[in-house]
Structure 1
Amino acid sequence: MARLIGISDIHGEYDKLCAVIDKISPQKSDKIVFMGDYIDRGLKSRAVVDKLIDFGDVCHCVYLIGSHEYAMMHAKTDDYYNYLFWNYGGDSTVKSYGSFENIMKIHGEFFRNLKFYHIEGKYLFVHAGLRNGIPIEEQDEEDMVYIRSEFYNKKHSFPYKIIFGHTEFDEPQVQDDKICIDTGCGKYKNAPLTAVVIENGSESFVNSD
């Protein structure tokens, strides 16, 4: 039976990504939605992106944009995003690529093609969340990668269970209308990377520990 898998907020932690993938052991029929924040903080951002790209040959993969990719891609043209990139772990990403310019030279196609959300059956995957009362196709890009309490603390009216990351917790947070899978990987030394695995309509969790 095909599984639907969500993984978010890897933050350069290549070894934890490999540990989660090994535990899940994805099959060709599975689909993985990678939900952004692949880079920064951890030491192996380039290796993480290489792994994600290569994994597209193993099963069907969908790649979403996170707040850290969004800041990186706007850093050269916007002082605010330049500040965010360099002050939230961007130096680790630059070191892994050799220079800031190398990021887009090496993986520009990957970053330029990242999506803001993905709908699969009754599930909607997005990095940070959605603003309630606004049609999905009219959502603000910044909200989808940066929103926090305005989304998390309120019940939404969208016809999907929303899978998201961005706001970290000690363990996955499950509500009737949403699931957060960011467990602090890359931000806290011993925090695991967590994946949600959806099979036969039920959700379970796998982490890198």
Structure 2
Amino acid sequence: MFNLFRKRAPDRPPTTGGRLVYAVGDVHGRLDLLGALLRDIAEDALAARAEQAPLLVMLGDYVDRGPESRGVVDLLLEMKAFARLETRTLKGNHEEALLRFLEDPKFGAVWMDNGGGPTLASYGVQPPAGRSDSDAWVRARDALAAALPEAHRAFYRDLELMVTEGDYAFVHAGVRPGVALEEQAERDLLWIRQEFLEASGPFGKVIVHGHTPTEEAQLTRHRLGVDTGAYATGVLTAVRLHREDQRLMQAFARRPGAA
């Protein structure tokens, strides 16, 4: 369940400034993988005996596609209460979709096309059978609103857009090249892809992000991409940053019949 890969930039490597930091890629309802990875992170953080509480940054997209969105949020709320590890949770485009559905039930059909059905089911709500049944979507929205615990409602409402630590900036999707970090638009932080991925950088800080799944994590000079498509691949990835060190930590789904 634990895999390490080490890489250093070729010159003037970025640093966390001394703090131990973990950043976890897109979870998408895979509570099994998140639980395993967070156990490894907690054990590693406790073993480090750092003077300052280590930082855990969740990069967004906790919900949709996988089966246990509600359980993922429950676990993250537990982590936020774990005093020995500061937990910061970023907003992903899938959390934005959930919040939009709560405001506008007409958005429901689009959300379902992008994996919202399992999220509704995890809160005990049956998705409407027809895309165009507006009354059914209103009922589904109302049922979800009623099923959301207040702690979950606050969790989704209070998600952050960016966290910085040392030479690193943590966002969900990426940043708009040529725009200062403090001036980035929310839509780009949640949705950008090719304009960011194809840019050579630098971006002001090393950008740590998820959003775009790849078979392997991408640790490059100006960006670290750690979305390994957990909901489909069974591999959830985090990057462990400490001073100038960069390592990967991963949780893997058990194969059927494995001991």
Q: How does 1:173-184 map to 2 (within 5 A)?
A: 173-184=218-229
Amino acid at match of 2:245: S
Percent of residue pairs bearing the same amino acid type: 33
Unpaired stretches in structure 1, ≥5 consecutive residues: none
Q: Work out whether 1:201 is the aligned partner of 2:201.
A: no
TM-score, length of structure 1 as denominator length: 0.92
Q: Work out whether 1:20 is the aligned partner of 2:63.
A: no
Q: Deviations over 1:72-92 (max 9, x none)?
A: 111244578544421111111
**1: distance between equivalents of 2:149 and 2:184?**
26
Pick aligned residue for 1:45 from 25, 45, 69: 69
Q: 3-state DSSP class of the match of 1:150?
A: helix
Moved over 6 A (4+): none
TM-score, length of structure 2 as denominator length: 0.75
The residue aligned with 1:6 is 23
Q: What is the CA RMSD across the aligned residues, in angstroms?
A: 1.9
Q: Evaluate the alpha carbon distance shift between residue 129 and residue 84 of structure 1 in structure 2; reply closer, same or farther with a 3 A threshold.
A: farther
The residue aligned with 1:72 is 98
CA contact (8 A) 1:94 1:103 kept: no
Q: Work out whether 1:130 is the aligned partner of 2:175.
A: yes
Deviation at 1:174?
1.4
Amino acid at match of 1:4: V
Deviation at 1:196?
0.4
When Rg is computed on C-alpha atoms for both structures, the one with the higher figure is: 2
**2: distance between equivalents of 1:144 and 1:65?**
9
**2: distance between equivalents of 1:104 and 1:201?**
40
Unpaired stretches in structure 2, ≥5 consecutive residues: 1-17, 47-51, 126-143, 253-259
Q: Deviations over 1:178-199 (max 9, x none)?
A: 010000111x1x3300000012
Alignment length (residue pairs):
207
119-128 or 136-145: which moved more? 136-145
The residue aligned with 1:171 is 216
The residue aligned with 1:92 is 118
The residue aligned with 1:36 is 60
Pick aligned residue for 1:111 from 144, 147, 156: 156
Q: 3-state DSSP class of the match of 1:144?
A: helix
**2: distance between equivalents of 1:44 and 1:9?**
13
CA contact (8 A) 1:72 1:81 kept: no
**1: distance between equivalents of 2:103 and 2:61?**
20
Q: Work out whether 1:149 is the aligned partner of 2:207.
A: no
Amino acid at match of 2:242: E
Q: Evaluate the alpha carbon distance shift between residue 132 and residue 82 of structure 1 in structure 2; reply closer, same or farther with a 3 A threshold.
A: farther
Q: Evaluate the alpha carbon distance shift between residue 104 and residue 145 of structure 1 in structure 2; reply closer, same or farther with a 3 A threshold.
A: farther
